[in-house]
Copies of this chain bind each other. A is one copy, B any other.
Amino acid sequence: MRLEEAKRIIKETLPEKRYIHTLGVVETAIQLARQYGAQEDQAALAAMLHDYAKYRNVSEMQRVAVELGLDELLNYDEELLHAPVGAELVKRELGVEDADIYQAIANHTTGAPNMPLLDQIIFVADAIEPNRHYPGVEQLRQIAQEDLTQAVIATLVQTISFLCKKQTVIFPLTIETYNAFVPEKRKGTVL
């Protein structure tokens, strides 16, 4: 699928604010792909399509999640569904067969322990694109210019801290991802 065609579909599919966010993710993903040596066209298309299923109704997303064997997701926030379901619907409905793009879309919300470069770029770009505004985003942008792995960790820390502050459930895969990305030697301790 050409990027312009995907752009047209996304513009029709998403509310304007989310469409503008998406264009920001595309811009940032291209910049990160250039900087860290990923394929720019692949990063751009994954970014353009990453929120494809964001506004589907929940029961539809739950049905697709069950079809994919992701029943466990139904115990967590509905917000988590749109990433793996979106990857699947991009394939089914738009005919995008690129397995790397599938995976980058599927992992963009929770992360995954073995995220390859493309997934890391989409994960970070989603958090730091120019239309994002939250405390700490400028520091994340700075880190992303210096070290992508550190930016993945910092994005996860931002997410975990945000959830802790709101006293909301943390999806275990996000912690598995964090644990996989922090340096091995820094094994953690508690009180």
* Chain B residues whose C-beta falls within 8 Å of the C-beta of A183 in the assembled complex: 167
Interface assignment of A188: CB less than 8 Å from any CB of chain B: yes
How far is B164's CA from A162's CA once the two chains are assembled, in angstroms?
12
Does B175 contact A188, Cβ atoms closer than 8 Å?
no
Does A172 contact B167, Cβ atoms closer than 8 Å?
no
Interface assignment of A178: CB less than 8 Å from any CB of chain B: yes
Candidates B175, B178, B188; contact of A76 at CB < 8 Å: B188
Q: Scoring A residues 153 to 183 as 1 if CB is less than 8 Å from chain B, else 0, what string do you get?
A: 1010101111111111111101110110011
Listed by A's residue number, 27 A-B pairs whose Cβ atoms lie within 8 Å are A76-B188, A77-B188, A79-B189, A80-B190, A109-B190, A110-B190, A155-B191, A157-B164, A157-B165, A159-B191, A160-B160, A161-B161, A161-B164, A163-B188, A163-B189, A166-B186, A167-B182, A167-B183, A168-B182, A168-B186, A168-B187, A169-B187, A170-B178, A171-B188, A171-B190, A172-B175, A172-B179
Interface assignment of A127: CB less than 8 Å from any CB of chain B: yes
How far is B163's CA from A157's CA once the two chains are assembled, in angstroms?
10
Min distance, Cβ A104 to any Cβ of chain B, angstroms? 14
Give me the interface of A with B, judged by CB distance under 8 Å: 76-80, 109-110, 126-127, 153, 155, 157, 159-172, 174-176, 178-179, 182-183, 186-191
How far is B164's CA from A160's CA once the two chains are assembled, in angstroms?
8
Does B187 contact A77, Cβ atoms closer than 8 Å?
yes
